[in-house]
Structure 1
Amino acid sequence: MGTPTQDFHAFFEQHHAELSRLAHLLLGSSDGPDSADDLAADALVAIWHRWDRVSAANHPLAYARGVVANLARSRIRSRTRERRRVALFWSRYGEHTDGPDVPAVLDVRAALDRLPYRKRACVVLRHAFDLSERETALALGISVGTVKSQTSRGIAELERLLTQAPAPAPQGERGAPESLRVLRTGPVERSS
């Protein structure tokens, strides 16, 4: 064990990519490619400021995941409030349209974007990061029972959304659609 700075640097090097990927999956694709890295960086800055407490905790990575999840939730809420303000403005002063174009085929990312935050967080942590129910509960600060119910409901909703596509998604491990494996194995898409 080295100095606190060395310990934090090692933690950063070991977990930054995972925390960035978690942020990307929780935020969805509408925030842009760099927002997940920014959120992960913000989380790591917050962790650095509390490093003495975090490093002494039984599960520092679970704490870090919780910070990412909380920051993502705040950002999503902020984004939702902003969209409501814009929609209210356009409903009063703008032109009405028939609504957004909906693609014929929903992919996993688009389906995840449509899930409520807690369901999305549970599905992502359980299936993309392969965390246990207990680890997921610890990261999100909720009960194991809530993780079970939110994951089950989230998977059911994803299956419903994904079966709206021409070909239904085949079933994989733990009853999740096979296409959820892209969350675990696929690299985070980044644009240059």
Structure 2
Amino acid sequence: MGTADDTTAAEFHAFFERHYAELSRLAYLLTGEPDTADDLASDALLALWRRWDRVRAADHPVAYARGVVANLAKSRIRGAVRERRRVALFWSQRTDRFEGPDVPAVLDVRSALRRLPFRKRACVVLRHALDLSERETALTLGISVGTVKSQTSRGMAELRRLLGPAPDPGPERHRVPAGVAGDRTGGGTP
């Protein structure tokens, strides 16, 4: 192995160490699947290694890497949707199926994110969870800054609609009644 190969491997290793956790986090936020996130980040980095000469020469190698993760996540989501449709079709043809909706009692941010169309979800995640600029988000997704702005705005509006208004805790909710453990006023009944 020559010096150039050693240098290339060292550069890639440094890139891997610097960006693997971020790419895995991005994959998790896009798919909502913690087990899949590491696989997608690893698959993306393997693809980058295969094209490392081209990637390292790019103006924005990290944006390129994020784009690869986003594309892999999109493919994963599409495959999962196709599988769910096949399962739903199978169960719809059965006569002994369970009737009634399976509606979760609590809708959290992750499940609300999964309900957003992919481009809106990607824009919201990149802008708000990874704190990328509009320009960095546009580079990552291969879209215009204007599209990032509109998709992020629409995605956030849809999240607010899905999650509903934030409850107002009011002043009473924070007060600890006398006699309850943790009450430092010394009051209450023994």
Q: Which TM-score applies when normalising by structure 2? A: 0.82
Percent identical pairs in the alignment equals: 71
* Structure 2 stretches lacking a partner, 5+ long: 170-190
Q: Which residue of 1 aligns with 2:167?
A: 167
Q: Which residue of 1 aligns with 2:145?
A: 144
* Cα distance in structure 1, aligned partners of 2:123 and 2:168: 22
* Cα distance in structure 1, aligned partners of 2:46 and 2:168: 42
Q: Which residue of 1 aligns with 2:121?
A: 120
Give 2:101's match in structure 1, choosing from 99, 102, 106: 99
Secondary structure of the 1:93 match is: coil
Go from structure 1 to structure 2 and tell me whether the alpha carbon gap of 1:5 and 1:59 turns closer, same or farther (over 3 Å shift): same
Go from structure 1 to structure 2 and tell me whether the alpha carbon gap of 1:51 and 1:82 turns closer, same or farther (over 3 Å shift): same
By relative contact order (CA 8 Å, sep 6+), the higher-ranking structure is 1
Q: Which residue of 2 aligns with 1:65?
A: 66
Shift of 1:96: 4.3
RMSD of the TM alignment (CA)?
1.8
Q: Which residue of 2 aligns with 1:177?
A: none
| Contact 1:111 1:161 (8 Å CA) reproduced | yes
Secondary structure of the 2:132 match is: coil
| Contact 1:162 1:168 (8 Å CA) reproduced | no
With 110-119 and 150-159 compared, the bigger mean Cα shift is at 110-119
Q: Which residue of 2 aligns with 1:22?
A: 26
Aligned residues: 164
Shift of 1:168: 6.7
Deviation string for 1:93-119 (max 9, x for gaps)? 25142121322x322112111111111
* Cα distance in structure 1, aligned partners of 2:98 and 2:17: 49
* Cα distance in structure 2, aligned partners of 1:155 and 1:123: 7
Q: Which residue of 2 aligns with 1:52?
A: 53
Give 1:7's match in structure 2, choosing from 11, 15, 37: 11
Secondary structure of the 2:93 match is: helix
Shift of 1:74: 0.2
Go from structure 1 to structure 2 and tell me whether the alpha carbon gap of 1:88 and 1:108 turns closer, same or farther (over 3 Å shift): same
* Structure 1 stretches lacking a partner, 5+ long: 170-192
